[in-house]
Amino acid sequence: MTLIRNIFQVLVVVSLTFVSTPVSRARMGPVDIKPLFLPEIVIFTSQSPAGVFPEGASPVVIPLKRSGRLFFMEVRIDNQVGNFIFDTGSSKLVLNKTYFRKFIVVDEEEAGGVTGSTEGICRTSVKSLKVADLHFSNLSADVTALGHIEDRRGIKILGLLGLSLLKDLEIVVDLNHNELHLFRLDKKGNRLVTHPQRRFDLVHKVAEHNNVLFVKAKIGGEQLDFCLDSGAESNVLSSYSSKSVLGTVTILKRSGMVGVASGQTDVLYGMMNDFNLGERRFPAMRTILTNLHKMSKSYGMVIDGMLGYDFFCQGTISLNLIRNEMGICFSKVNDIPK
Amino acid sequence: MKGHPFLLNIILLSMLTSAAMGQVSPKEACRIDDGQLVFTLDLQWSPAQKQEVARLFNLDSAVMAGALSGKSIIVSNGVEWKTKKLNARTVELFKPLSDPANGDGFPDDVVMVDDDWAGFTMEPVRESVDWGINKFTRYTVFQYIHGVARFYLPGHLNAKEVYLSGTFNRWSTTQMPMARSDSGWTIKLKLKPGKYLYKFIIDGQWVPAPFNRQYGSDGNIHDNSVVFCFNHTFVLKGYKNAKEVYVTGSFNGWDPRGLRMFKTNYGWVFPMYLREGTHAYKFLVDGVWMTDPLSKMVVADGAGHFNSLIGIGDTVLFRLKGYSSSKNVVVTGNFNGWNAVGLKMSKTSDGWQFPYVLSSGNYEYKFVVDGNWITDPANPYTVGFGATKNSFVAVRANHTFIFEDKAGINSVLVTGSFNGWNRDGYRMVLKDRQWTFPIRLKPGKYTYKFIVNGKWVLDPRNELWEENEYGTNNSILWVEN
């Protein structure tokens, strides 16, 4: 599709689980309207990682594949093997309709509160899922069309996999080396003794809501809420942020039309010059600026922005959902992929 | 130094005025302010600066011109822009931010941005190179014999598992586990001649191949190891007293310093990968150019000399039966830029023929018989209609579209992303109760449909399909390497 329109343009899905279908747009139950997507895939409580993690307590390393600004992991799911986008912005397991169409077991009408859409939601159940040495069984998943991402990246995509399956582990995201490192944790969120704790340049609190993580950051002296979204090809900042926030952002580009359904839409691209986590000021990071009102609704909380590819490439990022902490070891400038 | 007080004053005044008013840089012309998209325009911008603003911010130049000429309201494409003069030099142009119709930051269809945004280059990686050699510092780490490649990773005996991943398996992280040996890890796999990028995955971690000094980018990762599977060895027998022998040709731009041959007991050799197709070459023996004594195929270089020719790939024998009384028959097609004088066919006992080495791919061609263009009467596969109808041949076809015949079907076309959804499609041929069309497709995803008696239908033999923008569906085909 992209090639047909313009070979020199690429599609940027800012949030992969947010586009194209009612299922993907509505990531979880909105607070102010009737709940649509209560989390279904609560697979493991924090007390029950047994059976998931291989014995021996050594860390599991998952090699990530990369295409542009997206990262994939290879997963065996029932009798298929293929690529899943590593998408921390996805609250649940999402499968590509193209390859799971005949396994759809539930097809009900979506309440139209958020999207106004009456399209059905497709779901299915998965008997087994294996990624590296991690095994999961009897999962439920949403099924939606992801063909547009395949077209854009030329890579076969079976689905999206976020943090819902990895909640009780420390997840170290190292996009500069294209690896995920997973560590077993004790009940207090400490790595098991065989793995010494890592020292981070920055440790920052995160809040988890329906398997998606949110952090508070400061721009222009103002505190803002961002969600962490490794499936977003760009950071995103609300174009309705305050003057003090937007005053620190340099707008570099405005795109034209962005699709048939959307009409004339201003999508603006800029540089966040004053992004701060705790006491740490980040180097200038690229961002898209657009309206996030509806995104906030679907997340069930007001969000001011999303931290995507540009953020994750700043260094090695550790996510510990038991401690509700994010640790960052910043990359040397030369390590950051261009 | 003598100064001119009056001139100095003018310069100072001019500098002060300029500083006070401040020239607006085109790059800083845009901002968001309280839900408004605001441009600060400079009346003194040059045409080039105005163009830059129009380009960077997709701003209609007519809207900009209206604002700079003093209009207070400008309507363009149904959007109302307002202006406000800030001072003698600058004007503000603004409108409310346009959100998508559904009130969402991201519309139903995906957001598109320009390729150059954020350094987001999706540079197409050149899929084929003209030639290549390997740069291993330990020769045991890679061998390629009779189409079978053996990769060897020395050491890492404490690793739990090692995988080989590369362009040959679409960078799969799970498909190719290596076997542990006494001294390291090995794997054998069948590979066609060509260039491949690869890495090892040692207990989950990506590692470039040790003892290989050749690296390449796949557009995403830049430290992949590179290996070539060879398909040709240049040989020059004798000349044992020569000090140095090079082979050079059209494949390396006739670089005389390029490929230094290795001395053996019987002469000189140079093993390498050469792209499929026909290449001209010569040897350079101690500075003296010579054609290959072992090759009978030569071609004039246009300067009174000859070059040797080597054909790599499949030889397609173009044949045209009959036309025995014709004087001049040539074959021409997209393989030679449709040059009608290029490929002159030879007369045989029952017609005309021309052997030609072609690389893997799809080709269209026609014969030109004494100036008359005709399709190949012996080839049922054609594309296009009427005057644009050409014969079609797929060299090393890797997929055949098949549609089962039924009563009443008199025409089946296949069309899809591989031919830009050309409505004329590729005309399938009925053979053994199946309509078929063999084709060579590069690895990747394709969407397609059949047009059966003028009606668009999905491929009934293929269970993979997806919705398209027209609310109908397209069949999906993934072509692996």
Q: What is the ipTM of this complex?
A: 0.80
Q: Which of B106, B114, B420 is the closest to A14 by Cβ?
A: B106
For residues B331 and A230, give the distance between their C-alpha atoms in angstroms, rounded to a whole number. Answer: 54
Q: Name which residue leads in pLDDT, A18 or A290.
A: A290
Nearest to B184 by CA among B170, B168, B200, B173: B200
| Tens-place pLDDT, residues A237-280 | 998 899 999 999 999 988 754 433 344 667 788 999 999 999 89
Contact check, Cβ <8 Å, A156/B120: no
| Exposure letters A80-94 (e unless 16+ CB within 10 A, then b) | eebbbbbbbbbbbbb
Q: Which residues contact B198 (CB under 8 A, 6 or more apart)?
A: B151, B164, B165, B166, B167, B168, B209, B224, B225, B227
pLDDT classification of B265: cutoffs 50, 70, 90: very high
Read off the amino acid at residue A72: F
Residue predicted with more confidence, B22 or A122: A122
Ordered alpha helix ranges (H), chain A = 2-5, 22-25, 97-100, 147-153, 243-246, 293-299, 309-312
Q: What is the pLDDT of residue B438?
A: 95
| Range scoring the smallest mean pLDDT among A291-295, B13-17, B21-25, B43-47 | B13-17
Confidence of residue B247 (pLDDT cuts 50, 70, 90): very high
List A residues 140-199 in contact with B (Cβ-Cβ < 8 A). Answer: 145, 147-148, 150-152, 154-156, 177-179, 181
Tokens describing residue B460:
């009934």
**Which has more pLDDT, B297 or A120?**
B297
Tens-digit pLDDT profile for residues B37-69: 999 999 999 999 999 999 889 898 899 999 999
- % of residues, chain A, pLDDT over 90: 39
- What is the dihedral sign for C-alpha B332, B333, B338, B339? negative
Residue of A nearest to B112 (CA): A11
Residue A120: its pLDDT value, please? 56
Is A142:A23 a contact under the CB 8 Å cutoff?
yes
- Structure tokens of B361? 């791919």
Confidence of residue B120 (pLDDT cuts 50, 70, 90): very low
Instruction: Using a CB–CB cutoff of 8 Å, tell me whether A79 touches chain B.
Output: no
Share of chain B above pLDDT 90, in %: 64
| pLDDT tens-digit series, residues B349-374 | 999 999 888 888 999 999 999 999 99
Residue with tokens 């958020």: A114
**CB-based contact B110 A12, cutoff 8 Å:** yes
Containing B21, the helix (H) or strand (E) segment is: helix B5-21
The answer to whether residue A13 scores a pLDDT higher than 70 is no
- In which order are the strands placed within the sheet that holds B90-96? B30-33, B36-42, B90-96, B79-85, B73-76
Q: Do B58 and A255 touch (CB under 8 A)?
A: yes
DSSP state letter for A177: T
Q: Report how many Cβ contacts below 8 Å link chain A to chain B.
A: 221
> First-to-last CA distance in chain B?
76
Please report which confidence band the pLDDT of residue B335 belongs to, taking 50, 70 and 90 as the band edges. confident
- Give residue A9's pLDDT: 32
B330 has pLDDT over 80: yes
Tokens of B465: 């399909």
B residues 209-228 closer than 8 Å to A (CB): 220-221
Cβ–Cβ below 8 Å for B114 and A253: yes
Helix, strand, coil shares of chain A, percent, nearest 5, are 15, 40, 45
Cα B125 to its chain centre, rounded Å, is 7
Question: Residue B35 has what pLDDT?
Answer: 86
The verdict on B105 touching A (C-beta cutoff 8 Å) is yes
Strand partners, A210: none
Distance CA B396, CA B313 (A): 9
pLDDT, residue B144, reads 96
Which residues in chain B touch residue A243, judged by CB atoms under 8 angstroms apart? 33-34
Report whether pLDDT(A14) > 60. no
Mean per-residue pLDDT for A35-50? Answer: 30
CA distance B243 to chain A (A): 45
B19 in contact with chain A, both atoms CB, cutoff 8 A:
no
User: Residue B38 forms beta bridges with which residues?
Assistant: B31, B94
Report the residue of A96, A175, A291 to disrupt the B interface, i.e. the one with the largest count of B CBs within 10 Å: A291
Judge contact between A328 and A316, C-beta under 8 A: yes
> Highest mean pLDDT range out of A6-10, A263-267, A285-289, B383-387?
A285-289
| E strand spans, B155-202 | 162-166, 179-180, 184-190, 194-202
Contact A261/B107, CB-based, under 8 Å?
yes
Our CA-based measurement puts residue B28 at a distance from the nearest CA of chain A, in whole angstroms, of 7
> Does residue B375 register a pLDDT over 70?
yes
When pLDDT is averaged across residues A221-232 and rounded to a whole number, the result is: 92
Structure tokens belonging to residue B304: 């009174």
Q: Closest approach of chain B CAs to the CA of A86, in angstroms?
A: 15
The answer to whether B31 contacts chain A (CB < 8 Å) is yes
Mutating which of A79, A144, A265, A273 best tests the B interface, going by the most B Cβ atoms within 10 A?
A265
Mean pLDDT of chain B: 87
pTM: 0.81
Looking at residue B103, its pLDDT comes to 47
Contact A274, A281 (CB under 8 A): yes
Backbone angles phi, psi at A176, to 5 degrees: -70, -25
Tell me the CA end-to-end span of chain A in Å, nearest whole number: 26
Question: From A67, which residue of chain B is nearest by alpha-carbon distance?
Answer: B220
* Amino acid A42: pLDDT: 28
Nearest 5°: the CA angle B385, B390, B396 is 130
Which chain B residue has the Cα nearest residue A75? B174
- For B427, phi then psi, to 5°, come to -75, 120
Instruction: Tell me: pLDDT of B9 over 60.
Output: no
Are residues B91 and B101 in contact, defined by beta-carbon separation less than 8 angstroms? no
- Round the average pLDDT of chain A to a whole number and report it: 76
pLDDT higher than threshold 50 for residue B175: yes
Distance CA A246, CA A250 (A): 8
Is the CB of residue A97 less than 8 Å away from at least one CB of chain B?
yes
Pairing state between β A134-144 and A94-96: parallel
pLDDT reported for residue B193: 92
Q: Does A56 touch chain B if contact means CB atoms closer than 8 Å?
A: no
